[in-house]
């Protein structure tokens, strides 16, 4: 076989290999499950957090779709009530973001933790990995409440071996330029910052999923 012919054969083999690898690749289906912070309160769909994170991930070459399963006003109890039917079969992973409304209403930190734990367990029983997005209690709830509530997410992450992003609103809280007029919810610029801040741990989470 001539050198030219050998080169042609090798090129053809490499092309076939790359084509095979490409056909084996699949889109990862992620569900963002949470409250108004996930849903995109008062924002166009394209500016909600899940859309922002999906766009960022795709710009980095990641083949992923992120479904927005956020419901404004949901507490952890509300999330628990709908977790089974809101997460379809075939979901590769869930970003679980709940607890803000529990803290705002002064609900029991113990109950919030129990609800979140039950959701994590149910998802893991279905073989669906979880990225837990944490929330911090407002300081006006008092130091004791704050300490109990804020420790929830780290404790659950360690107990159930799930990835934890400590504070979902990192970079947005107390920055009026990144919030709606209510001073609580992110605006479009805010959700962009949120996606950028969570992206490193999200990328690691994606790489840990079965491909």
Q: Comparing C-alpha atoms, which of 177, 187, 153 is closest to residue 167? A: 153
What are the DSSP calls for 172-209, one per residue?
TTT-GGGB-TTSSSB-HHHHHHHHHHHHHHHHHHHHHS
Query: Which strand (E) or helix (H) includes residue 68?
Result: strand 64-70
24 vs 186: CA distance, rounded Å: 38
The answer to whether 96 and 116 are in contact (CB under 8 A) is yes
Give CA–CA dist 45/139, Å, rounded. 31
If pLDDT is split at 50, 70 and 90, which confidence band does 26 have? confident
Choose among 34, 35, 44: nearest CA to 188: 44
pLDDT for 106 beyond 60: yes
Active-site annotation holder among 36, 74, 92, 112: 36
Is 182 noted as a catalytic residue in this protein?
A: yes
Mapped onto helix, strand or coil, the DSSP state of residue 84 is helix
For the residues 131-144, what does the mean pLDDT come to? 95
- Judge whether 192 and 50 are in contact, CB under 8 Å: no
At residue 21, the pLDDT reads 45
| Model confidence at 33: pLDDT above 90 | yes
* 10-19, 33-42, 84-93, 140-149: the lowest-pLDDT one: 10-19
Distance CA 145, CA 108 (A): 9
Catalytic, 86? Answer no
Residues making up the chain, counted from first to last: 211
* Digit-coded pLDDT (tens) for 186-208: 999 999 999 999 999 999 999 99
Q: Chain-wide mean pLDDT for the chain?
A: 91
pTM passes above 0.85 = yes
> Which pLDDT belongs to residue 190?
98
The pLDDT of residue 20:
43
Is 92 among the catalytic positions? no
Q: Which domains does the chain have, with CATH numbers?
A: 26-208 (3.40.50.1110)
- Chain-centroid distance of CA 174 in Å reads 22
Of residues 35, 92, 102, 185, which has the active-site annotation?
Answer: 185
Candidate list 24, 89, 144, 182, residue with the active-site label: 182
């Amino acid at each position: 076989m001539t050198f030219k012919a050998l080169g042609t054969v090798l090129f053809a083999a490499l092309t076939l290999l790359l084509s095979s690898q490409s056909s084996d690749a699949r889109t990862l289906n992620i569900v963002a499950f949470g409250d108004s912070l996930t849903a995109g309160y008062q924002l166009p769909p394209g500016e909600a957090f899940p859309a922002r994170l999906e766009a960022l991930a795709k710009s980095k070459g990641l083949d992923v779709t992120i479904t927005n399963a956020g419901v404004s006003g949901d507490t952890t109890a509300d999330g628990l009530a709908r977790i089974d039917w809101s997460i379809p079969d075939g979901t590769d992973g869930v970003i679980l973001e709940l607890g803000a409304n529990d803290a705002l209403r002064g609900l029991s930190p113990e109950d919030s933790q129990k609800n979140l734990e039950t959701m994590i367990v149910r998802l893991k029983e279905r073989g669906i990995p979880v990225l837990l997005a944490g929330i911090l209690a407002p300081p006006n709830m008092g130091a004791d409440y704050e300490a109990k509530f804020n420790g929830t997410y780290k404790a659950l992450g360690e107990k159930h071996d799930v990835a934890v992003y400590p504070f979902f609103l990192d970079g947005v809280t107390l920055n009026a330029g990144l919030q709606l007029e209510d001073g609580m919810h992110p605006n479009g610029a805010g959700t962009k910052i949120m996606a950028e801040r969570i992206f490193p741990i999200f990328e690691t989470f994606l790489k840990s999923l079965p491909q």
